[in-house]
C-alpha cells in the first residue's frame, strides 16, 4: 500500500536524493510549499504559509503518512505544528523550541550540561542601554552576538569594541524583524515559562567567545532513545569566521567524539526531544581539552547529505523519512565508495559586488568531470549583486558549493583545486 510523504520546500536535488533511500519503493513524495516560499526568500508570512500547507494536505485524496523537511527556519518550526494537526510523528513544538530559541536553549543547557556552555545573556537590540546590560551580565569584550532565532550564520557578529557593537546593532535593527516577527507567531502557539516568553523573536544573544576545532554531531531520537550516528568537521578559512569546507568522517580524536556523543545524549534526553532528527554544533578547545556546545539544530544538515551517501552509502535523509513514517532509521555505515567526503564553499570576502561573469552550465559540467562523482552548485548569475544572496554570514558570500569524495583528506583538497581551476567568476562594483 502506497505511503504518502509530504516534503516542505522539496526541490529537484532532494527529490533525486529521496529516490535513492532504502525502503522507499512504496513511498510517494509530494511537495508541500515551494522552495521559493521557504528557502529562496527572507519574507515569511507564517500564518499564510501554514494555511496554504493545511489546504494542500486537506485536499489530498489519500493517507497522510508523514510530513517532513530538511530546511531550517521557517520549515523546522512549521513541522511540529503541522504534524500535530495531522497526527504524524515529530518532536513537540515545546521541545523543538528548547533547541531553536537560543535563550531557552541555553537555559536548559545550564540545567543539564553547565560545564559545556559559555556565559550568555539575552538583550533587545533596540534598547539603547543594551551594551551596559550585557556588561552587568559579566560579559566583557570580546563576545559574540546573534539573534535568538536565525538560520545559517546570518546576523552573527564578533564584538571586540563598542564600535563593533554599534555596527552589529545597526545591522540587527535593520534586518532582524524579518525572522523575529514570523518566529513570534510560532512562539505564540507554544506553552512557555514567563521568563522565556519575555524574550521575544527580535531579541538577541550575547555570549562569551568560545572556539577550537569545530564539528557537527548528527543524530536522531527514536522512541526516547538518542542515537548519534556521525561527526562532521567544520573547517574555516584561515583567520576568518567563514566556513571553507565540511569534512566527513571527522578527524577529531575518538575519545573527543565519544564525549560529544555522551553530552548529546544527555542534553536531548533532558529537553525531551523525540522522534525527529537533529544536529549539534560543538567546539573542542584542544589547549584546554574542553568541549563547548555551540547550538542545537532541529533537522539533519542538508549540506551533509551527499557526504553520508559517499562514505556510508546513503544520504541521511534516510533519518528524516524513516522517523517521519514512525520507523527506526535504516542507516548503513561505511558502505559508500569513498573513505572521506567534503562540501567546499567557494567564497569571496567583499561587502558587496556585482557578478560580471559566472560559469555557464557547460563550464560547470566540465569542471565537475575533473573528479568523478563531483557535484557543483553555483548560486549566482551574471548581473546579480552578492547582497541578493540569502542566508550569508556577516563576513563573506558563498558563490558556489562543491561536493566530492576521495580516499584521503589530502587528495580531497588537491581534487578541489583541480575543479576550481575550471570555474571562472568575475566581479565589478566591488565594495571592500
- String of DSSP letters for 10-48: --HHHHHHHHTSTT-TTEEEEEES-HHHHTS-S---HHH
Comparing 238-247, 263-272, 316-325, 347-356, which segment has the lowest mean pLDDT? 238-247
Give me the pLDDT at residue 152, please.
65
The tally of CA atoms less than 13 A away on the side-chain side of residue 184 is 11
Q: In this predicted structure, what is the pLDDT of residue 345?
A: 96
Distances (CA, A) of 40 to 44, 56, 142, 214, 356: 10, 20, 33, 27, 22
- Calculate what percentage of the chain has a pLDDT beyond 70: 100
Q: Give the separation between CA 263 and CA 202, rounded to whole angstroms.
A: 30
The span from the first CA to the last CA of the chain, in angstroms, equals 58
Sequence-distant (6+) residues with CB within 8 A of 129 are none
**pLDDT value for 282:** 98
Give the pLDDT mean for 261-285.
Answer: 98
Binned at pLDDT 50, 70 and 90, residue 71 comes out as: very high
d(CA 54, CA 215): 37
Residues 6+ apart with CB under 8 A from 202: 124, 125, 126, 147, 176, 177, 180, 181, 184
Please provide the average confidence, as pLDDT, over all residues in the chain. Answer: 96
Q: How confident is the model at residue 238 (pLDDT cuts 50, 70, 90)?
A: confident
Q: Looking up cell 525502503, which residue turns up? A: 23
Q: Is the pLDDT of residue 182 over 80?
A: yes
Q: Identify any residues that bridge with 283 across adjacent strands, giving them in sequence order.
A: 214, 292
In this structure, whether the domain defined by 340-432 belongs to CATH 3.90.1170 is answered with yes
> pLDDT band for position 241 (50/70/90)?
confident
157 pLDDT higher than 90: yes
Q: Is pLDDT of 153 > 80?
A: no
> What confidence tier does 355 reach under pLDDT thresholds 50, 70, 90?
very high
pTM of the model: 0.94
Per residue in 394-429, pLDDT (tens digit) is 889 999 999 999 999 999 999 999 999 999 999 999
For residues 191-213, give the mean pLDDT: 97
241's CB contacts (< 8 A; 6+ apart) are 153, 156, 158, 393, 394, 395
SS3 content of the chain, % helix, strand, coil (to 5): 35, 25, 35
Q: Class of 119-208 per CATH? A: alpha beta
The DSSP bridge pattern shows strands 66-68 and 3-8 to be parallel
Q: In the predicted model, is pLDDT for residue 210 greater than 80? A: yes
* Cβ 176 vs Cβ 227: under 8 Å: no
Residues 87-104: tens digit of each pLDDT = 999 999 999 999 999 999
Res 79 pLDDT > 70: yes
pLDDT single digits (tens) 45-64 = 999 999 999 999 999 999 99
Tell me the average pLDDT across 259-274.
98
Stretch 359-378: mean pLDDT = 95
Q: Are 340 and 406 in contact (CB under 8 A)?
A: yes
Strand partners of residue 235? 245
pLDDT of residue 42 exceeding 90: no
Which pLDDT score is estimated for 181?
Answer: 95
- pLDDT higher than 70, residue 430: yes
Q: Where are the domains of the chain?
A: 3-91, 119-208, 340-432
Q: In angstroms, rounded to a whole number, what is the distance separating the alpha carbons of residues 31 and 67?
A: 10
Report yes or no: 30 and 3 within 8 Å, Cβ to Cβ.
Answer: no
**Max CA pair span of the chain:** 63
How far apart CA 4 and CA 79 sit, in angstroms, is 16
Q: What is the mean pLDDT of residues 247-260?
A: 98
Amino acid at each position: 500500500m502506497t505511503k504518502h510523504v509530504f516534503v516542505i520546500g522539496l526541490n529537484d536535488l532532494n527529490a533525486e536524493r529521496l529516490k535513492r533511500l532504502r525502503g522507499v519503493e512504496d513511498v510517494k513524495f509530494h511537495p508541500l510549499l515551494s522552495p521559493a516560499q521557504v528557502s529562496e526568500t527572507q519574507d515569511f508570512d507564517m500564518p499564510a504559509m501554514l494555511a496554504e500547507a493545511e489546504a494542500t494536505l486537506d485536499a489530498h485524496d489519500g493517507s497522510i503518512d508523514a510530513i517532513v523537511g530538511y530546511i531550517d527556519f521557517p520549515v523546522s518550526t512549521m513541522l511540529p505544528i503541522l504534524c500535530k494537526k495531522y497526527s504524524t510523528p515529530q518532536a513537540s513544538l515545546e521541545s523543538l523550541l528548547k533547541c531553536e530559541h537560543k535563550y531557552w536553549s541555553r537555559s536548559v543547557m545550564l540545567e543539564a550540561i553547565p560545564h559545556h556552555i559559555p556565559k550568555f545573556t539575552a538583550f533587545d537590540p533596540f534598547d539603547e542601554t543594551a551594551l551596559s546590560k550585557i556588561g552587568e551580565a559579566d560579559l566583557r569584550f570580546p563576545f559574540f552576538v546573534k539573534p535568538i532565532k536565525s538560520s545559517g550564520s546570518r546576523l552573527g557578529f564578533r564584538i571586540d569594541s563598542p564600535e563593533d557593537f554599534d555596527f552589529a546593532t545597526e545591522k540587527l535593527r535593520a534586518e532582524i524583524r524579518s525572522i523575529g516577527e514570523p518566529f513570534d507567531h510560532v512562539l505564540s502557539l507554544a506553552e512557555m515559562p514567563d521568563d522565556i516568553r519575555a524574550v521575544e523573536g527580535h531579541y538577541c544573544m550575547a555570549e562569551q567567545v568560545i572556539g577550537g576545532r569545530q564539528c557537527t554531531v548528527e543524530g536522531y531520537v527514536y522512541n526516547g532513545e538518542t542515537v548519534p550516528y556521525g561527526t562532521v568537521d567544520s573547517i574555516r578559512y584561515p583567520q576568518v569566521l567563514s566556513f571553507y569546507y565540511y569534512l566527513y568522517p571527522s578527524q577529531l580524536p575518538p575519545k573527543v567524539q565519544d564525549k560529544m556523543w555522551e553530552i548529546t545524549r544527555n542534553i536531548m534526553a533532558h529537553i525531551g526531544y523525540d522522534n525527529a532528527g537533529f544536529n549539534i554544533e560543538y567546539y573542542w578547545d584542544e589547549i584546554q581539552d574542553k568541549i563547548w556546545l555551540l547550538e542545537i539544530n532541529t533537522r539533519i544538515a542538508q549540506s551533509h547529505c551527499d557526504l553520508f551517501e559517499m562514505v556510508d552509502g546513503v544520504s541521511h535523509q534516510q533519518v528524516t523519512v524513516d522517523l517521519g513514517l514512525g520507523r527506526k532509521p535504516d542507516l548503513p555505515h561505511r558502505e559508500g565508495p569513498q573513505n572521506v567526503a567534503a562540501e567546499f564553499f567557494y567564497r569571496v570576502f567583499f561587502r558587496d559586488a556585482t557578478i560580471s561573469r559566472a560559469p555557464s552550465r557547460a563550464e560547470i559540467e566540465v569542471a565537475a568531470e575533473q573528479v568523478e562523482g563531483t557535484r557543483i552548485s553555483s548560486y549566482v548569475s551574471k548581473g546579480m549583486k552578492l547582497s541578493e544572496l540569502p542566508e550569508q554570514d556577516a563576513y563573506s558570500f558563498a558563490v558556489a558549493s562543491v561536493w566530492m569524495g576521495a580516499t584521503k583528506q589530502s587528495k580531497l583538497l588537491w581534487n578541489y583545486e583541480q575543479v576550481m581551476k575550471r570555474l571562472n567568476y568575475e566581479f565589478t562594483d566591488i565594495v571592500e
